[in-house]
Amino acid sequence: MTLPPSSDDHPDDPRRRRLLQAGALAGGLAVLPGTLAATVARTTTARTRAGRIGGTVEDGVHVFRGIPYGADTAPRRFQPALPELAWRGVRDCTRYGASTAQPGRDGPGSEDCLFLNVWTPGLADGARRPILVYIHGGGFNNGSGSDPLYDGGALCRHGDVVVVTLNHRLNAFGYLYLRDLGGEALQHSGNVGQLDLVQALQWIAQHAQAFGGDAANVTVFGQSGGGAKIATLMAMPAAQGLFHRAWTMSGQQVTAAGPRAATQRAEIFLGALGLKATDVERLRTLPMQALIEAQSVRDPSRVESSGLYFGPVVDTVTLPRHPFWPDAPPQSAAIPMVIGNTRDETRAFLGNDPDHFALTWETLPAKLRTQQFVDLDPAVVVAEYRRLYPDYTPSEVFFAATTAGRSWRGAVEELEVRASQGANTWAYQLDWHPDTEEGRRTRAFHTLDIPLVFDTIDAAGSNTGTDARARAMAATMRDALLAFARTGNPDHAGMPHWAPYSLAQRETMVFDTPSRLVDDPRGGERRLYRQAPFVQRGTQ
């Protein structure tokens, strides 16, 4: 059995954008040296602050891929990016830009990675369409905005909206905290990946009218790490006012790393490169690949074997508080928010091991000890699951418990503090899965909701199938996202009434065949895991 990886990584198109520029444009942007623009095949053009771009029209939708929203970050490694350089002529924006520097199938990537992609039904037509900005998953470690599942065409055609996806700095390049080792020049280093997102949102606001969108109606949505990045943006003063709705899928960020833990990881990273704490300046000139490889050193905070954790840091400058602890960020209290998870998250990344489907009551506790991520006695966990679900096999307990102890626990934490703020938060749980032998085995795994909300179930990498059930579920979830983007409420006529989440009822939309509103689904599991305090994995 092969399941999609939890990082959402599918092969990215690493081909670099050919720079078609020489001379200068007004607006204060520098000009790249080079040749005049060559003739490129294109069917549509638009104007950006840095110059004209050429894209294509696909089934009635204007598509531009690989638009730069910032300059090459290599000369300013670990620092906030500068604006993109200007060009003359028409820049070819028909192919995706490079992914950021990273390990894995999207790597090695490039430090010249600040690109975004736009799908829109109309250009500069005054339509003021809702803008949906997707932030990709892959934790804070890997991924890109060019996965086929993230194609915005279907959302544009069905909902008359503008869709944007993007790349930004990740892992050590985006989140290595060096302020306490490198001084004021590197005070933003632990959060420059987040600042890239702020810069992209500023670019989108500046260009909304040119792409037929409404700068006053921007929805950010993201899965896994994308949701965690959104939760972090909600607590960043620099992001305030740049988006107006937030939809997260299996991605939460309750706590961020503190400066002590982040500095310790930086010292471990330096050691893996054979450097001392006093050698920080050398990090800025080492080969990109050396920095990628050094990240594989074991993180001491993780019980399982894994590379160093890099993520947002409470640095008092860019991120002045934890994203969702001890409460929800006040600056985002008025932003409507959807917080969702899939019912069987961990089957995506623990389901590739056949041994996990052959567990016994004797072997189960040891497996749980390393994979539930919450420090509860496995014997207590197993006993409670057997009481709650007497028909479950040991393997079913394993997948349910690891799901409840990992990302779902963070979702509950966020839902509770948001509900304490007001009545503009909605919860969902995806139970639906393909009705095939493989689907019954993998069930509602992590990432399954991506092609459903994008309505890209026909795209490469989708594991939903394309039968009538899949198309109906995609229509339901797609239309909920579109309703939310348009009105700030995900309720729509094609599904049961979706009430906001409250502490009294814990209303949750269970997407299934049929979908239904359920009060406190998995309440027994929620109460079980409340016995241990929750700290976001990797942030201690």
List active site positions.
Answer: 224, 345, 446
Crossing angle of the two packed helices 394-405 and 378-388, in degrees rounded to 10: 110
Task: List all residues 6 or more positions away from 533 whose beta carbon is below 8 Å from its beta carbon.
Answer: none
Q: Are 224 and 142 in contact (CB under 8 A)?
A: no
Give the separation between CA 176 and CA 190, rounded to whole angstroms. 5
Supply the DSSP symbol for 406: T
Task: List all residues 6 or more positions away from 179 whose beta carbon is below 8 Å from its beta carbon.
Answer: 186, 187, 188, 189, 190, 259, 315, 317
Q: Is 227 helix (H, G, I), strand (E, B) or coil?
A: helix
415 CB neighbour count, 10 Å cutoff: 23
Q: Are 177 and 257 in contact (CB under 8 A)?
A: yes
Give the separation between CA 504 and CA 130, rounded to whole angstroms. 33
DSSP 52-68: EEEEEEETTEEEEEEEE
Q: Are 120 and 61 in contact (CB under 8 A)?
A: yes
278 CB neighbour count, 10 Å cutoff: 10
Give the separation between CA 292 and CA 309, rounded to whole angstroms. 13
Give me Rg for the CA atoms of the chain. 23
Task: List all residues 6 or more positions away from 252 whose beta carbon is below 8 Å from its beta carbon.
Answer: 227, 228, 231, 324, 339, 407, 410, 411, 413, 414, 536
H and E: helices and strands count for the chain: 16, 13
